[in-house]
Amino acid sequence: MKRLLLLIAILVLLLLPASCVDIERTTQDIIDRVTQHTTGTYTIKVGGTAGLSFTGRYQVNFLEYDSATGSLNMTANSYTTEGVVPREYTFKAMVGMGFFQKQTGDGTLLKVEIWKEGVLQDSASTTDPWGAVMVAGGP
């Protein structure tokens, strides 16, 4: 994150000509380009034994530029879910992560994968009674 902020600051300084420039617009343009390259479409796939009940929570993180303060903020939205295998959740984000737990005390399989733009980022599985897994993907 510090490297990203440093990169943005350097780009702003390099792209500003000595004459009068709309700094806010230039800054916003740079931030838009940076976030465009780091943000993608994620899919969390909850699989395993068909019909297995689960609960879960997944978080969606992205950057936002606040032109009023000139600051770059990481925003996180969290979603609680429950269902049965198989299930998928798709969202746009810079970083995505999820935590899912079986709702049975048997040896059935819970497998969770997180994909970004069609590329597997992380996967985890469990057959433990009431077992839980966590997955995460990022830029």
Nearest of 88, 87, 83, 98 to residue 53 by alpha carbon: 83
Query: Residue 34: what residue type?
Result: V
CA distance 52 to 102: 7
pLDDT in tens, 100-111: 999 999 999 999
pLDDT in tens, 28-78: 777 777 767 778 999 999 999 999 999 999 999 988 777 788 777 888 999
pLDDT tops 50 at residue 18: no
pLDDT of residue 100: 98
pLDDT at 71: 78
The answer to whether 87 and 79 have CB atoms below 8 angstroms apart is no
The reported pTM is 0.76
- The token duo for 82 is 């429950």
Q: Provide the pLDDT for residue 138.
A: 85
CATH number, domain 39-137: 2.60.60
Q: What is the pLDDT of residue 62?
A: 86
* Domain ranges within the chain, ordered by starting residue: 1-38, 39-137
